[in-house]
Amino acid sequence: MDRMAGQISATHGRLHPADDPFDRRILNVGDGHRLYIEQCGNPEGRPVLVLHGGPGGGCSPFMRRFFDPAHFRIVLFDQRGCGRSRPTASVEANTTQHLVADIERIRADLDIPAWLLFGGSWGATLALAYAEAQPDHVTGLVLRGVFLGRQRELDWFYGGGAARFFPDLWARFQDPIPEAERHDMIGAYHRRLFSEDAGRQGRYALPWLMWENALAGLQSAPVSHAPAEYARAFARLENHYFSNQCFLEEGQLLRDRHRIEHLPAVIVQGRYDMVCPPGTAHELAEGWPGCELRIIPASGHALSEPRISSELVRVMDTIRDDDLRDGSASAGSA
């Protein structure tokens, strides 16, 4: 989830100044996939990995601006099939387990002992999956708009839950699908997004995108257009993951939380998040000693929500300040 992740307004004065990458590279991870990776900020700073939303989203220059570039070594990458990674929109060898392995390969390629994870929505899902698989290589987590990939969460968004608040937009989402197939909207869109007809794929990609985008922010206007290839890639990849329950066992991320409960975490969650309602974040935080849940008033799901973006900058600035007080600002520091 999280189509809005790259659309932060440049007018948000609370964000850090834009910083160009000091390193860009393409990493061949096998299975025909080549990943785009960039590093920004301080090459000797505290490493932080930014995980974009979707599945299917991709990185944006605005995602660099939550971090003080003088302090953090900021690593971003486009996940398989996304953004500048190739091949575009490919679902071959594209599962959560592949992405977790990719993250570990990136860490080794960049010679980073351990890093802080920063991710929202699907990026939060992936951060948790990686941290639970590689807890020794994680120093902490900063999460937003928590999504745990469970069936109940998919049912909320694609099975009529959110539709009770947005009946007009839900009707628009359902409209391209014959009434007989509307009991399973993920499956109905899957059959069309994975049709052999590329034109048909494109026609169904935009309605898929419009439904999620319309609910992402409290004041967001529904998107009526998007670059065709972006829409196709986003819709196909997200639908591929949701058709397969995100390649996670039901409840897996909560079940295995004990593997990361020694790590510090902060969750920034919009009070009126209609994409990933706050109950999920509360479940994740409850009983986790080092986890702080911050419910943000008058805010929805998107990274572009003003109070959400401001709070995330505040979290990262606090981490920076704590590092400086502890004298742990050197390369690779935890």
Give catalytic residues, as residue numbers: 121, 273, 301
Task: Supply φ then ψ for residue 143, to 5 degrees.
Answer: -120, 155
Extract the tokens encoding 123: 């990026």
Distances in whole angstroms, Cα of residue 14 to Cα of each of 48, 149, 308: 19, 31, 11
Tokens 């004065």 -> residue: 13
Cα separation, 258 vs 204, whole angstroms: 40
Which amino acid appears at position 86 of this protein? R
Single-letter code of the amino acid located at 91: V
77 vs 85: CA distance, rounded Å: 8
270 CA to centre of own chain: 15
Do the Cβ atoms of 204 and 197 come closer than 8 Å? no
